[in-house]
Structure 1
Amino acid sequence: MFSTDRQTHRQIFLDAWRKSNAQETLEPLESQLVEIMRRHPEYRPFLEDGERALDQDFSPELGQTNPFLHLGLHLAILEQLSIDQPRGIRDHYQRLLARLGDPHRVEHAIMECLAEAIWRVQHQRVPFDDSAYLYCIQRLADD
């Protein structure tokens, strides 16, 4: 699934969406991706315009959200929850779910913490800080 090549990475999303729409059999990962994509109808134009989406740049400075990054962060969070890694994320998720009541809203809240942690890794060239990431989620659950 994971690739450092942007087009290859994006193609996985596009192929899963196409297969789903054609009612073809999906691999387990593809099923998970399609479920995430269905929760984001605002991204359907990108998913259905495959060739353009493969090469399109998305500029946060211009207020653009990269749908592939956003969907990928959802997938990363679901994977973290499935294996409870970093350890304790499941408990924080459950506490936040009790507070917010909607799993999708919880994923979006956690996504803010994950994006911040990834930004720190990229811009400060430090290892991923599990403790800071979990503390960010804990603060959301405690508010």
Structure 2
Amino acid sequence: MFAPSQIEVRRFFCSTYAKWRDRLPLTPMETLAAQWIEQHPEYHAELADEEQAVQAVYTVEEGRTNPFLHLSMHLSISEQHSIDQPRGVRQALDLLAARKQSLHEAQHVAMECLGTMIWESQRSGRPPDGHAYLEALRHKATQ
């Protein structure tokens, strides 16, 4: 399992942004990340300053979105969709994207479901419940 540190994740997104901005060749993972970076111009300034990005602290009290968490969730959900894991997530995301008429908006809804699953897991001390995540996503896709 690949488990990069917070600094490695931030450096990855910053270097991907720089390569994308400068139209340099990208690896397949960078290409996927760049697609999401492109859709979030509000993060470009933060991604442009790698050393500041490594030092930045994002707290709920500040009301700032952590761009690295947000982009990481986009990548995670994209991977879930591509391999249909948990089984059924591809269908639920496709249905939600059709309903929202936007893959991007569907992913943001999926992020809410994913975030809830992670929070519940941390709160309860139990492993993440993929079934509950999928059911929440299916519910959002059909409501």
Same fold (TM over 0.5): yes
Corresponding residue for residue 19 of structure 1: 19
* One-letter identity of the residue aligned with 1:87: R
* One-letter identity of the residue aligned with 1:77: I
Shift of 1:98: 2.2
Q: Pairwise CA RMSD of aligned residues?
A: 1.4
Q: Distance in 2 between matches of 1:6 and 1:125?
A: 22
Corresponding residue for residue 132 of structure 1: 132
* One-letter identity of the residue aligned with 2:107: E
TM-score, normalised via structure 1 length: 0.94
* One-letter identity of the residue aligned with 1:122: Q
Q: Distance in 2 between matches of 1:44 and 1:97?
A: 25
Deviations 1:109-141 (A, max 9, x none): 111000111111222211111110011111111
* One-letter identity of the residue aligned with 2:105: R
* One-letter identity of the residue aligned with 1:142: T
Shift of 1:94: 1.8
Q: Is 1:103–2:91 an aligned residue pair?
A: no
Whether the 8 Å contact between 2:17 and 2:44 is mirrored in structure 1 is no
TM-score, normalised via structure 2 length: 0.94
Deviations 1:2-26 (A, max 9, x none): 4442111210111111112222211
* One-letter identity of the residue aligned with 2:73: L
Corresponding residue for residue 92 of structure 2: 92
Whether the 8 Å contact between 2:81 and 2:90 is mirrored in structure 1 is yes
Uncovered stretches (5+) of structure 2, i.e. residues with no partner: none
Count of aligned residue pairs for this structure pair: 143
Q: Distance in 1 between matches of 2:55 and 2:120?
A: 26
Whether the 8 Å contact between 2:96 and 2:106 is mirrored in structure 1 is yes
Corresponding residue for residue 61 of structure 2: 61
Shift of 1:63: 1.0
State percent identity of aligned pairs. 39
* One-letter identity of the residue aligned with 1:32: L
